[in-house]
Amino acid sequence: MTFGLRGGRSLAVILLLCVCAAEAEGLTDAEKRGRRIYMEGRGRKEIYAVLSESGIRAPGSGFPCVNCHLAGGAGQFEGGVRSADISWFNLTKEFRGVRPSGRAHPGYDDESVMTAVTNGRDPAGNDLAPAHPRYEMERGDLEDLVAYLKIMDREPVPGVTDNAVKVGILLPEKGPLAAAGREVRDLLGGYFAEVNAMGGIYNRRLDLVPLPFDPSEEDGPLKAVRQAVESEAVFCFLANVGVGPEDGAARYLSEGRVPVLVPLFSAPEGGYGTGRYTFHVFASIRDQARVLVDFLAERKNASGIRTGLLFAEDASGRAGAMGAKEQARKHDLPIPVEISFSPSSFSAADVASRLEGERVDAVLYFGGPREALALAQEAERRSWRPLFLAPAPMAGDALMSAPAGFLRSAFLASPLGVPDPSSKKMAGFMRLEEKYRAERKHRAFRYMAYSGAVLLEEGLKRSGRGVTRETFVDSIGKVWKLETGVTPPLTYNPNRRVGALGAAILKVDPDTRELLPETGWREPE
């Protein structure tokens, strides 16, 4: 039997569908095992990494390939060293003359890749860079790794289809942040609807995937995150609510190299050297503390002000204290009194008695809102009126209920600043809120979420149609002075994961309880 033109086309379509179906089934067993070796440094047999320069021999799990070459194998520039692009196309292509590595050699094949992995030599016998580990691996594991390298840069991207990019958001179902979570969800839903109405991004719509969790349940956020990531249901996360930096979910996403944009908290520490895959908008507590000390140092007769440092024994409290002491040294501003406390056993009477007895004129405070309010009430009872300086994300809400006398000398560092209501970008935010009737009780959360959506859209546009998690992260890492309308301009680079490294100083009006700007937004000196 022979096929005419029409029959031949039908046969081609059938074959194409068979190929697509096979691809849809996912990786082969060998490729899956190779992926585990590449991502985790774990094979069917023990794998060891040998660092020839230092003589270290360590489990391969401590030196997986992905750490240097990244998912997809594109490599990165880090610490003054450029790791190679080890995508299969790049490894096997012929190259005239000297390659970017500085060596000349033919393209790799299966055997020469295995030799490079185990013996640290390229196809021409040249030694690879000394920083590259030599791996002790069984032949079967080597073959699995090569099988994965061949398809690594063509893997399906989690949460990305031909028609959509799926973006996850963690939301507490109940508790004090549940209402804020609903506000953020509704606002982002409106933003995504506007983008989709304009054709989406490269003809892909943005789909928001809410992931509710019970905050009273142990590891509630972690369970929701793990299910979404393991099922490859989302590409990245945006504006997670109620998930702190020390939560298991945050660690899981970081270790899994899943991009997280604008988690809705102020990181204790940040700015430089933070996780590659998490992008914050606002300055860390440590950097807000530095701005507070700059403000204190600029006051008249600052050298005569006797300063006390009061901080909670937790990650945020210690980071704030560290930033305050670091900046005080720059200004030659002594801090003779330093008190730490456990939030579970805080005594406002004892703390106020000691600070007043030490003749403290200014208190740098890094603790929770409950303790801040208790201290304010105790200070008022004693008619003791020191300057009180604290980050707004830590103590701001409490001061709305503080005695009027105490508020007259209280100042807050706000990483948000005061948006310009007359700007076009701010007008776009207000129009969105009006159109989608978003509630307006949690202003800071809405601003952060909105700026995260702007950053998401920018990163996807820069990444192109062939977006992957790595190209997305790289693209955001090159954003410079991105205008959002609701935050200061955002800037990132490969070592900076906080977009706006600064704060404004605010006061609480004792009569209206409104926040008023005392200084403009500024970066720490």
pLDDT tens sequence across 144-155: 998 888 888 777
Average pLDDT over residues 94-98: 80
**Cβ neighbours of 388 (radius 10 Å):** 24
Average pLDDT over residues 327-351: 93
Where, residue-wise, is CATH 3.40.50.2300 in the chain?
164-282+420-494, 286-414+506-517
Place of tokens 């190679």: 84
Distance (Å, whole) CA 273 – CA 494: 9
**Band (237; pLDDT cuts 50, 70, 90):** very high
Which pLDDT does position 7 carry in this prediction?
A: 41
pLDDT band at 324 (very low <50, low <70, confident <90, very high): very high
pLDDT for the residue numbered 267 = 66
Q: Compute the distance between CA of residue 31 and CA of residue 271 in angstroms, rounded to an integer.
A: 37
- Counting Cα atoms < 13 Å in the Cβ hemisphere of 315 gives 11
State pLDDT tens for residues 251-286. 889 888 899 998 877 666 654 335 788 999 888 899
Q: How far apart are CA 473 and CA 104, in angstroms?
A: 31
**Closest residue by Cα to residue 144 from 117, 123, 122, 124:** 117
**What average pLDDT does this structure show over 304-330?**
92
Describe the crossing of helices 285-298 and 315-330 by its angle, rounded to 10 degrees. Answer: 40
Q: Does domain 29-154 have CATH number 1.20.140?
A: no
Residue in 6, 274, 268, 40 with CA at minimum distance from that of residue 144:
40
pLDDT at 440: 66
> What torsion do the CA atoms of 479, 483, 484, 487 make, to the nearest 10 degrees?
100
Contact (Cβ atoms closer than 8 angstroms) between residue 191 and residue 198 = no
**In the predicted model, is pLDDT for residue 8 greater than 70?**
no
Percent of the chain with pLDDT over 90: 38
Give how far Cα 272 sits from Cα of 128, 497, 499, Å.
Answer: 30, 6, 11
Q: What is the pLDDT of residues 288-315, one digit of tens each?
A: 999 999 999 988 666 678 999 999 998 8
Pairwise CA distance, residues 265 & 101, whole Å: 42
The pLDDT confidence band at residue 23, using thresholds 50, 70 and 90, is very low
CATH of segment(s) 286-414+506-517: 3.40.50.2300
Structure confidence at residue 9 (pLDDT): 41
- Model confidence at 16, pLDDT cuts 50, 70, 90, reads very low
Bigger pLDDT: 68 or 172?
Answer: 172
Residues contacting residue 464 through CB under 8 Å, at least 6 positions apart: 202, 471
Residue 490 has pLDDT above 60, yes or no: yes
Residue ranges of the chain that CATH labels 1.10.760:
29-154
Mean pLDDT (whole number) for 406-433: 82
Q: Identify the residue with better confidence: 369 or 429.
A: 369
User: 143-171 burial, b for 16+ CB within 10 Å, e for fewer?
Assistant: ebbbbbbbebbeeebbbbeeeebbbbbbb
Give me the pLDDT at residue 33, please: 92
Asked if 417 contacts 521 with a C-beta cutoff of 8 angstroms, the reply is yes
The band of 492, judged by pLDDT with boundaries at 50, 70 and 90, is very high
Asked if residue 399 has pLDDT above 60, the reply is yes
pLDDT band at 358 (very low <50, low <70, confident <90, very high): very high
The contacts of residue 403 (CB under 8 Å, 6+ apart) are 376, 377, 380
Which helix (H) or strand (E) is 150 found in, with range? helix 139-151
Domain 164-282+420-494 -> CATH class: alpha beta
